[in-house]
Structure 1
Amino acid sequence: MLQIRYAQERGHGSADWLKSYHTFSFANYYDPKHMHFSHLRVINEDFIAPLRGFGKHPHDNMEILTYVLNGRVAHQDSMGNQTEVKAGEFQIMSAGTGIFHSEVNPDEKETLHLYQIWIIPNQKNINPRYDQGQFTDKQGGTLILSPDASDGSFKIYQDMKLWRYQFSAPSTEKISLNLHRSYWLQVVKGELSVNGVKLNSSDALGIKAEPRLAIETSSDVEFLLFDLI
């Protein structure tokens, strides 16, 4: 079963400094048909103007992943972290018992483009933690999140894995799936077809009871594949 979520169908929140596109219900966007997918609660694609961003605000009991596509994020939090997350880097936080943090675009000219992803954890009230890093670009899949931090991935407090796939064009690929798991495919960039469904940048696909993905690329592509219960 395939559930298509085209980019233009997402919710939209905006301000004079922010354009934000919501895959699932978030803030003032509410759609009972799109509340979450398995433990995926938020996938927001944000475009943040120079020298603007999200001031200090709280979170608790949520796994928060940020993937910076263009620009850089100036990050500060109540754990004492003060750092920048640059284009191509991932940042992971376990909010756990509670954190405050801010995420701001420090550049005077360049728009910040990122994905922010919230995952509901399977453990509550853990000690908050923070990590960030960049993974080497390569053809095929790279493990980004896993419960046991295997193969250099970040630990996630949930029964899930996140893979980043990168393929050049033209190419034909197959990815084997577990029929008893659910998957969410989020296109980061490029044009491709997945089991006959044509997708473009920012489109997404929910996947259940499928034995494999048949991928055909018509441009260089990058997508995130969430392996969920």
Structure 2
Amino acid sequence: MKTIYHASDSRGKANHGWLNSFHTFSFANYYDPERVNFGALRVLNDDTVSGGMGFGKHPHDNMEIVSIPLDGALEHQDSMGNKAIIKKGEVQLMSAGTGVTHSEKNFDLKNTVKFLQIWIMPEKRNIQPRYEQEVFEAEGRKNAIQTVISPIGSNDGGLKINQKAWFSLVDLSGEIKYDLKDKSNGVYVFVLEGDVEVENQKLNRRDGFGVWEIGTLNLKTDTSAEILLMEVPMKF
């Protein structure tokens, strides 16, 4: 088993006034050669956007982009003709493929929106762009592994990503095991709320912990924790 630990307060930071962002991996003006990616996981940004503000229209290509609202509502528009509001309890996936432009802004004019912006490097390049979003009920992740993203062509639930990757949410009170779908993959654990112990590593709110060369992951908490598990290829 190999591991890497990223404490919450070790992340890169950027405060633009309307946007307060924490970068687990190198992004924009934050660069750390030791923190460029975890396998196919390239970007993990923890963003807070002021009321009515947001990211104007901008392009992406050949990247799998996942947005997970944590509080508030995010408005999305793109060049594929999609216009949507994404709220807590929903997950959004956009396969940029050959190229797409999109904008994201806080749907609320007063209150902030908080969301995770995650980029996964794709398995296949130059595919036709795609967009999906789905509601995932909280009851489905209470002391259970709730799959919210899985590979195109798989029989697992959730949105379909252009990579051999699986994302899962867990609201944990007690102990649970996560069995890797592909033993050659690694899992990046990101604590949304609370405290949890993963393979004897204690993690607090917004800590990250990457684990690979392991088949099963053991997680436990004495209180409660909300956790995002991102299983990704380490080689691709």
| TM-score, reference length from structure 2 | 0.92
Q: Provide the residue aligned with 2:197 in structure 1.
A: 193
Q: Aligned runs of 1:1-229 on 2, under 5 Å? A: 1-137=2-138, 138=140, 139=142, 140-147=144-151, 148=153, 150-168=155-173, 171-177=174-180, 179-229=183-233
Question: 2:29 is matched by which residue type in structure 1?
Answer: N
Query: What is the rounded CA distance, in whole Å, between the counterparts of 1:84 and 1:9 in structure 2?
Result: 32
Deviations along 1:161-212, one digit per CA (max 9) or x if unpaired, are: 11112212xx122333465321111111111111221111110101012343
Cα displacement (A) at 1:149: 5.1
Query: What is the rounded CA distance, in whole Å, between the counterparts of 2:215 and 2:119 in structure 1?
Result: 26
Contact residue 89 and residue 137 of structure 2 kept, 8 A: no
- Evaluate the alpha carbon distance shift between residue 211 and residue 129 of structure 1 in structure 2; reply closer, same or farther with a 3 A threshold: closer
User: Aligned Cα RMSD in Å?
Assistant: 1.4
Cα displacement (A) at 1:66: 0.1
Unaligned runs of 5+ in 2: none
Cα displacement (A) at 1:87: 1.5
Deviations along 1:127-184, one digit per CA (max 9) or x if unpaired, are: 111111111223210111111253431111111211112212xx12233346532111
| TM-score, reference length from structure 1 | 0.94
Query: What is the rounded CA distance, in whole Å, between the counterparts of 1:43 and 1:165 in structure 2?
Result: 18
Deviations along 1:88-135, one digit per CA (max 9) or x if unpaired, are: 211100111111110000212211000000000011111111111111
Question: 1:162 is matched by which residue type in structure 2?
Answer: F
Which secondary structure state, in structure 2, belongs to the residue aligned with residue 219 of structure 1? strand
- Between Structure 1 and Structure 2, how many residues are aligned? 227
Which secondary structure state, in structure 1, belongs to the residue aligned with residue 14 of structure 2? strand
Cα displacement (A) at 1:83: 1.2
Which secondary structure state, in structure 2, belongs to the residue aligned with residue 152 of structure 1? coil
Question: 2:61 is matched by which residue type in structure 1?
Answer: D
- Evaluate the alpha carbon distance shift between residue 152 and residue 173 of structure 1 in structure 2; reply closer, same or farther with a 3 A threshold: closer
Contact residue 55 and residue 104 of structure 2 kept, 8 A: yes
Question: 1:41 is matched by which residue type in structure 2?
Answer: R
Query: What is the rounded CA distance, in whole Å, between the counterparts of 1:123 and 1:37 in structure 2?
Result: 18
